[in-house]
Amino acid sequence: MNILRRLFGGDGGVPSGDRGVYVYVRPKMCKEILRVRVDPMNNLSESEDGGTYFVRKVATGNRCPFPVEITLFFDGSKRLSNKEISNGEFVTEAEYDAFMAQSEPAQS
């Protein structure tokens, strides 16, 4: 079982050495908070100007029927420079962590 945890990051957190960019969103009219991951080395599209990048993601939660559309903009070094959202709002990682702690079933 430990080999599976090492392979797939069984602790549920962000694996060490993860190059992903994470944004946290709450869909409109929902309490659920989603974590969306973007890999700057694989998920980005080059902008028409040729010097910057962008990615569009649509995320839907397990308990919320409303999709959120996220557009992230990156500079020439593939660092996040701006973000836009439709049908939701950006929230902080702390709000996501609090939501996840509240959502976990109580252990006896």
Domain positions in the chain: 18-103
What average pLDDT score do residues 96-107 get?
Answer: 83
pLDDT at 62 exceeding the cut of 70 = yes
3-state DSSP assignment of residue 41: coil
Residue type, 93: E
Q: What percent of the chain has pLDDT over 70?
A: 82
What confidence category does residue 7 fall into, taking pLDDT thresholds of 50, 70 and 90?
low
Instruction: Supply the mean pLDDT for the chain.
Output: 87
CA distance 95 to 25: 10
Is there a contact between 12 and 37 (Cβ–Cβ < 8 Å)?
A: no
Q: Residue 45: pLDDT band by 50, 70, 90 thresholds? A: very high
pLDDT > 90: percent of the chain:
71
d(CA 54, CA 74): 6
Residue 46 has pLDDT above 90, yes or no: yes
Q: What is the mean pLDDT of residues 85-97?
A: 96
Planar angle of CA 42, 47, 51, nearest 5 degrees: 90
Q: Is 20 exposed, middle or buried (0-12, 13-18, 19+ CB in 10 A)?
A: middle
Other CB atoms within 10 A of residue 68 CB: 23
